[in-house]
Amino acid sequence: MRGNIARPACPSSSPFLIKEGAGLSSGAPVGNAPMPLPVSLIDSLLAEDTPDGDLTTLSLGIGRRPGRMMFRARNAMTVAGIEIAAAMIRRVGAEAHIVASSGTRASAGDLLLKARGDAKALHTAWKSSQTLVEILSGIATAARSLVDAVEAVDPAIRVACTRKTVPGARRLSVMAVRAGGAVPHRLGLSETILVFAEHRAFMPDANLADIADLLRREAPEKKIGVEVHSVDEAGDAIEAGFDIIQLEKFEPGEVADVRSLAEAAESRALLAAAGGIHPGNASDYVRAGAGIIVSSWPYTARPADVSVTIEADG
């Protein structure tokens, strides 16, 4: 029989298990609180690992024996996804208490979460929740290192992470970069206007000024952005009046040249440095005059290392 995961009724009629601000300890930054997460996602995370229950625990006959479980950071890390892990544990009928919420900078050995329940519940949620916290905390830790490098030069400059996540994992990945202090660049094609060369290929007779005028008529409430690949092209975008100019794979010196052009034109365009930026070179782009750093780098981070101990009570 399928669906062998214990799933107690949701405490309310809401389809969400995690609300904005849920599980945040006193003093934790509210901006790092997880977005609402539907119960269906929690169930799918659990069902992927235990579609028919935990055969080992069932076969050993230990499912009803009480126990406790603890998550600890093996190394320094920025925590992410711990609220989801707690929701997974609660969903199978155990108790979970968050000690270090998303966005917390944990040191090696720090306790992140503790749970109590029967062996069936603890083993059902164990590996899936641990792996999720490790992957998301790896992303958050990488995002935090990039944010730290940028803010060391100018605390006003933000790091925006792109939508280049594993398909199907964007929601979780965005939670992770937010926990690391970054913001989303654009969550999808419906959210912002960003003109690429691949768009312009279908408009061979239109220059950047023509495109800017068209977009202002068709989407008058939206800021308009364009990606450029040379200093000269950036100059044309400044003259055309684009609000956001994304400088794709520019060297810091080229970013400085574009900044000079913008200042000479008294343009207020946001200069977004994108492509190949990481903690080792991010500060150079900020010093060159980038107004925002756009990066996918955190998504390729190595997972953080979280130790989990499970012990029987009594």
pLDDT confidence band for 6 (50 / 70 / 90)? very low
* Domain 16-137+302-312 classification at class level: alpha beta
Give the angle subtended at the CA of 123 by the CAs of 82 and 85, to the nearest 5°.
10
Q: Which CATH architecture has domain 150-300?
A: Alpha-Beta Barrel (3.20)
| Single-letter residue type at 39 | V
Torsion angle of C-alpha atoms 115, 119, 125, 129, degrees rounded to 10: 50
> Which range is least confidently modeled, 43-47, 136-140, 237-241, 308-312?
43-47
Which string of b and e fits 72-90 if b means at least 16 CB within 10 Å? bbeeebbbbbbbbbbbbbb
Residue 35 has a pLDDT of 58
Q: In the chain, where are the structural domains located?
A: 16-137+302-312, 150-300
What pTM, to 2 d.p., does this model score? 0.87
DSSP 88-113: HHHHTT-EEEESS-TT-EEPTT-EEE
User: pLDDT, tens digit, for every residue of 22-64?
Assistant: 433 323 333 344 556 788 889 999 999 988 889 999 999 999 9
